[in-house]
Amino acid sequence: MHSYLARQPILDEHQNLAAYELLYRSSERNLFPVGEEDVATCRVLQSALIQFGLDELSADHRVFINLIEDALLQGSYHMLPQDRVVLELLESVEPSSGVLQASRQLKKDGYTLALDDFTFRSDYLALVQLADVIKVDLRETEHWKNPRAVEALLGRGKQMLAEKVETHEEFQQARELGYTRFQGFFFSRPQMLKARNIKGSALHYTQLLNQISSPELDVGELERIISADISLSWKLLRYINSAAMARRQEIGSIRQALLMLGESQIRRWASVVAVGELNKGHSIELLKLCLIRARFCESISGHLNCNPAEMAEAFLTGLLSGLDAMLDMAMHKILPELHLSPTLNRALLEHTGSLHARLELVQCYESGNVDRVASLSDELGLDAESLPGIYKEAVGWVQQTLAST
Find all residues with CB under 8 Å of 108, minimum gap 6, and list them.
Answer: none
2: left (phi over 0), alpha (psi -120 to 50) or beta: beta
Which range has highest mean pLDDT (212-216, 242-246, 305-309)?
305-309
Residue 187 pairs in a beta bridge with none
Residue 114 pairs in a beta bridge with 88, 133
Does residue 289 surpass a pLDDT of 70?
A: yes
Per-residue confidence (pLDDT) for residue 88, from 0 to 100: 92
Residue 183 CA to residue 11 CA, distance in Å, equals 6
Per-residue confidence (pLDDT) for residue 122, from 0 to 100: 78
The percent of residues in the chain predicted with pLDDT above 70, rounded, is 84
When comparing pLDDT for 25 and 174, which is higher?
Answer: 174
Rg (CA), the chain: 23
Hey, where are the domains in the chain? 5-188, 202-403
- Equal fold, 5-188 vs 202-403: no
Residue 32 CA to residue 17 CA, distance in Å, equals 29
Cβ count near 313 (within 10 Å): 25
Provide the CATH number for the domain formed by 202-403 in this structure: 1.10.3210.10
Contact criterion met (CB below 8 Å) for 183 and 9: yes
Per-residue confidence (pLDDT) for residue 250, from 0 to 100: 63
Which range has highest mean pLDDT (34-43, 224-233, 293-302, 311-320)?
293-302
Alpha-carbon dihedral sign for residues 395, 400, 402, 405: negative
Residue 182 CA to residue 17 CA, distance in Å, equals 10
Residue 257 CA to residue 263 CA, distance in Å, equals 12
Closest listed residue to residue 102, CA positions, set 140, 68, 125? 68
Fold of 5-188: TIM Barrel (3.20.20)
Contact criterion met (CB below 8 Å) for 384 and 373: yes
Quote the mean pLDDT of the chain. 81
200 alpha carbon, distance to own chain's centre: 29
Residue 188 CA to residue 271 CA, distance in Å, equals 18
117: left (phi over 0), alpha (psi -120 to 50) or beta: left
Residue 402 CA to residue 405 CA, distance in Å, equals 5
pLDDT tens digits, 347-405: 999 999 999 999 999 999 988 888 899 999 999 999 988 998 999 899 988 888 777 65
Cβ count near 96 (within 10 Å): 11
Does residue 112 surpass a pLDDT of 70?
A: yes
CA distances (Å), origin 42, targets 39, 80, 248, 321, 401: 9, 9, 45, 33, 31
Q: Which pTM value belongs to this model?
A: 0.70
CA distances (Å), origin 17, targets 104, 125, 274, 321: 29, 30, 22, 21
Find all residues with CB under 8 Å of 237, minimum gap 6, and list them.
Answer: 251, 257
pLDDT tens digits, 296-319: 999 999 999 999 888 888 988 998
CA angle 203-205-206, nearest 5°?
Answer: 65
Residue 33 CA to residue 26 CA, distance in Å, equals 7
